[in-house]
Amino acid sequence: DIQMTQSPSTLSASIGDRVTITCRASQDISRWLAWYQQKPGNAPKFLIYKASTLQSGVPSRFSGSGSGTEFTLTISSLQPDDFATYYCQHYDSYFPVTFGGGTRVEIK
Amino acid sequence: QVQLQESGPGLVKPSETLSLTCDVSAYSISGGFYWGWIRQPPGKGLEWIATIYQSGSTYYNPSLESRVTILADTSKKQFSLRLSSVTAADTAVYYCARAQRWGGGLYGYYFDYWGQGTLVTVSS
């Protein structure tokens, strides 16, 4: 299976900060990567697919980049609604879907 | 907009079979999308369980495949999950979701719409 490793596991930031979360795949997954946001007690919300394409309705302060084995999710100016846990997920079609361990973004 | 809702027992005894149903509204499950189950143990990360296309093609996480069955009933607009021989390690919130399929292999999907999730506890 492909292992997805996120860093950091927890990130403390303030409103207005630029925030970057890293996701590394244990092997080349091209750009087959999705990102999700999850708030406590809620289901994950789909944000990004194909590493950098925003789902309709996702604020433009979110962006994704990367290819191969290293990917990033960036929030350009952190808003109160953005405090949550973020997960990456590969969808290379030749290997079972796996998710990263999550990055919790908390208030500094 | 598509909506999904899980239902089923919240408590299952060890060694028994967990059965959950996902009702889909505002979209036909016999359309062009795939449908799947994902779970999340309390305080932990996400694990893909299984995916189905219409009432036919099924795809399972190899780590769970021997115990899992996913089925779809297009007339009822619902799909279901059965997980046999459960243990405490199967305690989790179980989510159903719509899957977008990519690539030529068995496993290329991401999940764009999710149900709210249902907690299933395995305990005697």
**What pLDDT sits at residue B52?**
94
**What pLDDT sits at residue B35?**
96
Give percent of chain A above pLDDT 70: 100
What contacts A88, CB < 8 A, 6 or more positions away? A4, A6, A21, A23, A33, A34, A35, A36, A71, A73, A99, A100
pLDDT digit string (tens) for A1-53?
A: 999 999 999 999 999 999 999 999 999 999 999 999 999 999 999 999 999 99
**What pLDDT sits at residue B104?**
83
Reduced to 3 states (helix: H, G, I; strand: E, B; else coil), residue A92 is coil
Q: Sign of torsion, CA B116 B70 B40 A62?
A: negative
Question: Does A44 contact B47 at a Cβ distance shorter than 8 Å?
Answer: no
**What pLDDT sits at residue B56?**
81
B76 vs B19 pLDDT, higher one: B19
Which residue on chain B is closest to A101 by alpha carbon? B45
pLDDT at A86 over 90: yes
What is the mean pLDDT of the segment spanning B106-124? 96
**What pLDDT sits at residue B31?**
82
Tell me the one-letter amino acid at B67: R
**What pLDDT sits at residue B106?**
86
* Candidates A93, A103, A104, partner chain B, best to mutate (most B CBs within 10 A): A93
Which residue on chain B is closest to A89 by alpha carbon? B110
pLDDT at B85 over 90: yes
Task: Categorize the per-residue pLDDT at B105 as very low, low, confident or very high, splitting at 50, 70 and 90.
Answer: confident
Residue ranges of chain B whose CB lies within 8 Å of a chain A CB: 45-48, 61-63, 95, 100, 102-117
**What pLDDT sits at residue A19?**
98
**What pLDDT sits at residue B18?**
98
**Nearest CA of chain A to the CA of B78: how many Å?**
19
Q: Which of A1, A46, A99 sits opposite B112 (nearest CB)?
A: A46
Alpha carbon of B97 to those of A46, A56, B100, B106, B109: distances in Å? Answer: 11, 17, 10, 17, 11
pLDDT digit string (tens) for B24-49?
A: 998 888 888 899 999 999 999 999 99
**What pLDDT sits at residue A27?**
97
Mean residue pLDDT of chain B comes to: 94
